Amino acid sequence: MKKIVFCHMRAFRHVALLLLVALGFSLGTCRAAERPVRILAIGNSFSQDAVEQYLYELCAAEGIEVVIGNAYIGGCTLERHVNNAREDAPAYQYRKIVDGEKVNTKEVSLLTVIRDEAWDFISLQQASGFSGQYETYERSLPELAAYVRQYASNPDMKLMMHQTWAYESTSTHKAFANYDRDQMTMYKAIVKAVFRAAPKLAHTDLVIPSGTAIQNGRTSFVGDHFTRDGYHLNLDYGRYTAACAWFEAIFGRDVTQNAYRPERISEYYARMARRAAHEAVKHPKAVTTLSDFKLPEAVGAYLRPAAAH
How does pLDDT run across 49-90, given as a tens digit for each residue? 999 999 999 999 999 999 999 999 999 999 999 999 999 999
Least confident of 10-19, 27-36, 260-269: 10-19
CB 243 within 8 A of CB 278: no
Strand partners, 121: 39, 158
Calculate the average pLDDT of the chain. Answer: 90
Q: Residue 308 pLDDT more than 50?
A: no
Q: How confident is the model at residue 141 (pLDDT cuts 50, 70, 90)?
A: very high
pLDDT at 223 (0 to 100): 97
| Cα-to-chain-centroid distance, residue 128 | 16
pLDDT at 296 (0 to 100): 83
Say how far apart CA 286 and CA 78 lie, in whole Å: 25
pTM here is: 0.87
Q: How confident is the model at residue 299 (pLDDT cuts 50, 70, 90)?
A: low
CB 93 within 8 A of CB 104: yes
Q: Identify each DSSP E strand in 147-222 by its residue range.
A: 158-162, 206-208
Closest CA to 142 of 207, 186, 202: 202
Q: How confident is the model at residue 301 (pLDDT cuts 50, 70, 90)?
A: low
Q: Residue 41 pLDDT more than 90?
A: yes
Q: How confident is the model at residue 300 (pLDDT cuts 50, 70, 90)?
A: low
Question: Quick one: DSSP state of residue 227?
Answer: B
